[in-house]
């Protein structure tokens, strides 16, 4: 029944996207046969007003009709140009995550249910909502601390959004499974894994305690950084369905005229923004992955304040090192090293030739070196790099794609503040310092210390590992001499199963039983 319901939900979604002209607006190059015929039919079924609208407008209307789950899906796919293509991703990035407010009574119920206290006990006052998105809405409120009233922002999860998302998620998985089964060319993109990532990130976003934890972690990481900060969290008034944090009075970074009128240094803000993002990425390995202008303010001190940490990205130390080496290799025109890093990281399968891949990398790097520095886009470089690696069967790396998309957005904001923005000059103090610390003598010593620590940890575990290995070998010898043994219940269960299934089914059950025994022995011994 659940699959049938998911199928009907997909049919409804397809009909809405057809009527709003989304299907007919998608690229049709390369389509032939039945898909091309379907594309033409979709154009005929689209509403008249939809046929003249821009693709981004069509998508916005359709996705908002489909509800919060599809809004979140659209926002997520906007960060995955490798999956939907650069043009569609750019259109999805324009989606306005603005839904209708839900009733004040529902917010009060959610707050009191999550925190176990009355709203009157928690807040001096709780105002009407001022912004509503797919997952939650925001209320202004006042709390009393040290005898003074202080303004805060209260974010409350939308009622029923979890159940609605879980229902729609089943449909998303169904589409991903069909795609992997019937469109072999897209298996490299791992659509099922992409859907799992969507499910995980959205579930995290719907638990506001985790967003509070992200705010707290980035707040600690950036406490000494110049010109950048995040709001403080009020943990006493934060739970799964409610997040209370510092109220930010400032000018949105999308309001260029407002920033200029307030006397802020736009060139300095552009430099601070890109340097802050690179510090978070390279130094901390933890970055805000939704840094569009609406999520960033400039306060009266000229500091950039980032909000809405529902979507974040992480890079391990190894990934950060590979990223730095790739960027440094382009700067120094060492294309062979850039290619080698891709193979060392496992990004490109080893059956490909390093020299051929280096040749493809050179095709990206050489045109860049003939341009003025202020026209070279690091984000564009990464985009071209991912396009080339597609030719060499590089599988999708979600963490790198999210980084690339965020870098596109951040660099775009910086260029909107300063049209002559020099990406390389602005990023050199951060990237150069990181490379000197981590790829130079200091980094080698740090790696050596980590290696020694790992060896000592392994040495401490040696007696236990030897004992477990000895027990495992003894059990293997015993099984070789006496064969497998089952208890009575297991034998009866297998006998009943054999009576119910065909010969091939009986063979499968025996294989499963043997695998279970091997796994059990491995876990216990």
pLDDT in tens, 222-247: 999 999 999 999 999 999 999 999 99
Distance (Å, whole) CA 192 – CA 195: 5
pLDDT 10s digits, 178-210: 777 777 766 766 777 777 877 777 788 889 999
What's the helix, strand, coil split of the chain in %, to 5?
65, 10, 25
Q: Given this structure, which CATH class describes domain 99-247?
A: alpha beta
310 Cβ contact partners less than 8 Å away, ≥ 6 residues apart: 135, 204, 205, 211, 290
Q: Is residue 6 pLDDT above 80, yes or no?
A: no
Of 276, 378, 397, the residue nearest 324 (C-alpha): 378
Write out the DSSP string of 295-351.
GEEE-TTS-EEE---SSEEE--HHHHHHHHHHHHHHHHT-HHHHHHHHHHTTSS-TT
294 Cβ contact list (under 8 Å, min separation 6): 252, 254
Q: 126: which strand partners?
A: 141
**What pLDDT, on the 0 to 100 scale, is given for residue 273?**
94
CATH 3.30.200.20 domain span(s) along the chain: 99-247
Q: What mean pLDDT value characterizes the chain?
A: 79
- Residue 342: CA atoms inside 13 Å, Cβ hemisphere, count? 33
Q: How confident is the model at residue 375 (pLDDT cuts 50, 70, 90)?
A: low
Q: 327: closest CA among 380, 394, 391, 398?
A: 380
- Is the pLDDT at 1 greater than 60, yes or no? no
List, for residues 281-292, the tens digit of each pLDDT value. 989 999 998 888
Residues with active-site annotation:
290
Cα-only R_g, the chain: 27
**pLDDT > 70: what percent of the chain?**
73
For range 159-174, the mean pLDDT: 83
């Amino acid at each position: 029944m659940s699959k049938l319901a998911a199928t009907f939900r997909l049919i409804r979604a397809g009909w809405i996207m057809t009527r709003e002209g989304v299907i007919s607006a998608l690229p049709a190059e390369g389509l032939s046969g039945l898909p091309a015929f379907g594309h033409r039919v979709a154009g005929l079924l689209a509403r008249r007003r939809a046929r003249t609208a821009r693709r981004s407008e069509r998508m916005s209307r359709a996705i908002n009709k489909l509800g919060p789950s599809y809004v979140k899906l659209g926002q997520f796919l906007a960060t995955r140009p490798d999956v939907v293509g650069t043009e569609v991703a750019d259109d999805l990035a324009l989606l306005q995550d603005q839904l209708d407010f839900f009733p004040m009574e529902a917010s009060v119920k959610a707050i009191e249910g999550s925190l176990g206290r009355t709203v009157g006990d928690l807040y001096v006052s709780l105002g009407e909502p001022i912004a509503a998105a797919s997952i939650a809405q925001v209320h202004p409120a006042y709390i009393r601390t040290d005898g003074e009233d202080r303004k805060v922002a209260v974010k409350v999860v939308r009622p029923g959004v979890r159940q609605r998302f879980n229902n729609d998620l089943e449909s998303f998985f169904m589409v991903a499974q069909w795609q992997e089964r019937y469109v072999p060319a897209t298996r490299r993109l791992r659509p099922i894994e992409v859907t799992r990532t969507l499910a995980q990130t959205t579930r995290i976003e719907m638990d506001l305690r985790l967003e509070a934890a992200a705010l707290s972690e980035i707040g600690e990481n950036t406490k000494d950084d110049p010109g950048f900060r995040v709001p403080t969290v009020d943990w006493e008034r934060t739970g799964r369905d409610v997040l209370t944090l510092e109220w930010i009075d400032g000018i949105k970074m999308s309001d260029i005229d407002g920033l200029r009128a307030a006397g802020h240094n736009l060139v300095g803000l552009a430099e601070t923004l890109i340097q802050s993002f690179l510090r978070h990425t390279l130094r901390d390995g933890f970055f805000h992955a939704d840094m569009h202008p609406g999520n960033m303010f400039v306060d009266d001190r000229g500091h950039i304040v980032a909000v809405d940490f529902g979507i974040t990205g992480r890079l391990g130390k190894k990934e950060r090192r590979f990223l730095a080496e790739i960027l440094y290799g382009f700067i120094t025109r060492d294309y062979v090293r850039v290619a080698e890093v891709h193979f060392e990281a496992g990004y490109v399968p080893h059956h490909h030739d390093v020299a051929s891949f280096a040749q493809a990398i050179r095709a990206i790097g050489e045109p860049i070196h003939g341009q003025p520095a202020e026209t070279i886009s690091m984000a564009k470089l990464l985009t071209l790099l991912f396009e080339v690696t597609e030719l060499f069967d590089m599988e999708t790396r979600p963490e790198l794609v999210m980084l690339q998309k965020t870098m596109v957005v951040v660099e775009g904001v910086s260029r909107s503040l300063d049209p002559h923005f020099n990406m390389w000059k602005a990023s050199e103090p951060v990237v150069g310092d990181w490379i000197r610390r981590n790829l130079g003598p200091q980094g080698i010593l740090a790696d050596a210390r980590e290696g020694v620590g790992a060896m000592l940890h392994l040495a401490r575990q040696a007696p236990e590992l030897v004992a477990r290995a000895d027990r495992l070998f003894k059990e293997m010898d015993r099984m070789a001499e006496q064969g497998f043994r089952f208890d009575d219940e297991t034998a009866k269960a297998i006998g009943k199963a054999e009576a119910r299934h065909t010969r091939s089914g009986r063979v499968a059950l025996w294989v499963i039983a043997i695998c279970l025994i091997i796994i059990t022995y491995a876990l216990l011994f």
